[in-house]
Amino acid sequence: MQNDKLKMYGGIWGGLVPLAILVVGLVWLSVAGRGGTKPFWACAWLALAVGLFFARSKEEYCKAAMRGIGDKTGIVIVTAWLFAGVFGKLMAVGGLVDGLLWLGMTTGAQGAIFTLLVFAAAMLFSLGTGTSTGTCIALTPVLYPAGYFLGADPAMLGLAILSGAAFGDNLAPISDTTIVSAYTQGATMRDVVRSRFPLCIVAAAFTALAFLIFGGGGEAVVLPEIQASLNPSGIFMLVALVVVVVAALSGRHIIEALIYGNVTAALVGMLIGTLKPGDIFGIPARAGASTGIIQSGIDGVVGAIIFAILILAVTQILMECGIMTKILEFAHKSVVSTVRQAELFIVGVTILASIPISANAPAELLVGPSLVRPIGEKFNLAPARRANLMDCAVCTIFFVLPWHIVVAAWYGAMVSAAESYGIAAPPISTALCNPYSWALLAVLVFSAVTGWNRRYATPGDAAPEEA
């Protein structure tokens, strides 16, 4: 990375213009309820366009932007997202939702026990699909009314879905945040998932206890139409998730692991009868129609990919005009002098970046290469440790603020489900009590303060592109 080459009119203040335009635009759209990766394209485009006029050398400014777009880390992330998007679509269309619903309802669980099972189902679904927003959209229409009529507390029931979605986003090897955190820190997916698991599972255990204590209190009345829709075969789609996790943990490249998972998901779906070859790829009946699941899966991640590319360009400009260097110098001189302070700084700066941006992977892209990696390297923190601090941090406050896209999607799906069955939905402020987010934040701070789960870099910590 090349720093301090780009000269701006107004010095540091001129260099801050692109960042200011980006953040103001993101907050404006998010507060107005119009957030999302595609609407955010315009904010990043405006940031880059306006910033050009503050650059003393327009040519160097353009080259800096192109260096950001062509960054090797970004290329790996984009490629992984393409395969992760298709994998998630295969899992959803293959019937994983129905399988998880069957698993929960056939146990005869009610009240708090069913709320706990909803949390577990959301964890599994988000681990399998790698998308927190998709988990909320897919599970809420069936699990929220089912739980309501099985005596679960409505607020805790809704939070069980949101918490499970956050868990998968936090840990899944195919999650965008996991991919970005690993590759911006030069960590292998195997090391990241193995070392992150203790942090996530401890937070999940405290969350499960909260649902078990407070998740009941309603009256159980099972709806026949919900029972009639049960299809147990979809539970076998979890085999594909096992393939991805095992491949990643055995040291396979994440793209290789994702290809194995895609093939397994397609084969399992066809074996259980939920997928046909034509569903995956086929000649559409009319021009412009989708060719199948592969195209739909890629369509689903295009918005995130383009926004990530634009974020990489903005971040590179911030680095080359010296802004990130100034922040690092301030941190080194004023607030960071020990490894404990360095880890707390990484957690804090990541959370601050995630507050205005309603998509959490771009927040990691903003601070990961420019702030988290250099300060972590100064204190010899292992790449996986840096990645885990950043990823866990971005999955805390992000899942409680109502202007973030996943919370908005979760609440919209819950209100829609409630209206369909004539039942009540809790207010959107319920998200502020998301137990997994707060438990994860507590675990993360405890880890940074005490050193639990901390790991230092060794000569064997190879960057992914070198593995």
pLDDT exceeds cutoff 50 at 374: yes
The span from the CA of 333 to the CA of 179, in Å, is 31
Residues of 260-286 as b/e, b for ≥16 C-beta within 10 angstroms?
bbbebbbebbeebebbeeebbeeeeee
Phi, psi of 42 (to 5 degrees): -65, -35
Evaluate whether 194 touches 249 at the Cβ level (below 8 Å). yes
The three-class DSSP label of residue 449 is helix
Predicted pLDDT of residue 225: 58
Residue 341 has pLDDT above 80, yes or no: yes
pLDDT of 32: 75
Task: Compute CA 162 distance to the chain's CA centroid, rounded to the nearest angstrom.
Answer: 12
- pLDDT at position 248: 73
CB-based burial, 49-75: b 16+ in 10 Å, e otherwise: eebeebbeeeebbebbbebbbebebbe
DSSP sequence for 180-223: HHHHHTT--HHHHHHHHHHHHHHHHHHHHHHHHHHS--S-B---
Lowest-confidence range among 132-141, 170-179, 222-231? 222-231
Helix (H, G, I), strand (E, B) or coil at 8: strand
What separation, in Å, do the N-terminal and C-terminal C-alpha atoms of the chain show? 21
How large is the average pLDDT for residues 36-50?
86
Kindly tell me if the per-residue pLDDT of 462 is higher than 60. Answer: no
16 half-sphere exposure, CB direction, 13 A CA radius: 10
Please say if the pLDDT value at position 465 is more than 50.
no
Residue 262 confidence (pLDDT) = 92
Least confident of 32-36, 111-115, 182-186, 294-298: 32-36
Q: Which residue has the higher pLDDT, 167 or 174?
A: 167
The pLDDT value recorded for residue 1 is 42
Confidence of residue 252 (pLDDT cuts 50, 70, 90): confident
Residue with tokens 């650059």: 55
pLDDT for 395 beyond 70:
yes
255-264: Cβ within 8 A, 24+ apart: 255/76, 255/79, 255/80, 255/83, 257/173, 257/189, 258/80, 258/83, 258/84, 258/87, 258/174, 259/83, 261/87, 261/174, 262/83, 262/86, 262/87, 262/90, 264/239, 264/240
Counting beta carbons within 10 angstroms of the beta carbon of residue 466, is it exposed (0 to 12), middle (13 to 18) or buried (19 or more)? Answer: exposed
> What does the alpha-carbon distance between residue 447 and residue 452 come to, in Å, rounded to a whole number?
5
Tokens of 150: 């099985």
- HSE-CB for 381 with a 13 A CA cutoff: 30
- Using CA atoms, how far apart are residues 390 and 408, in angstroms rounded to an integer? 23
The per-residue pLDDT for range 70-95, each reduced to its tens digit, is 877 677 767 877 887 888 789 878 88
pLDDT at residue 95, rounded to an integer:
83
CB 331 within 8 A of CB 281: no
pLDDT at 226: 59
Instruction: State if pTM tops 0.85.
Output: no
Whether 309 and 44 have beta carbons less than 8 Å apart is answered as no
For 89-109, how does the pLDDT look when each residue is reduced to its tens digit (9 = 90+)?
898 788 877 776 777 667 767
Which H helix or E strand runs over 35? none
Rounded mean pLDDT of the chain? 85
266's CB contacts (< 8 A; 6+ apart) are 90, 275, 280
Per-residue confidence band for 220, with pLDDT thresholds at 50, 70 and 90: low
Q: Give the pLDDT confidence score for residue 411 in this predicted structure.
A: 84
Burial of 432 (0-12, 13-18, 19+ CB in 10 A): middle
CB-based contact 240:265 (threshold 8 Å): yes
pLDDT at 359: 66
Closest CA to 218 of 426, 419, 413: 426
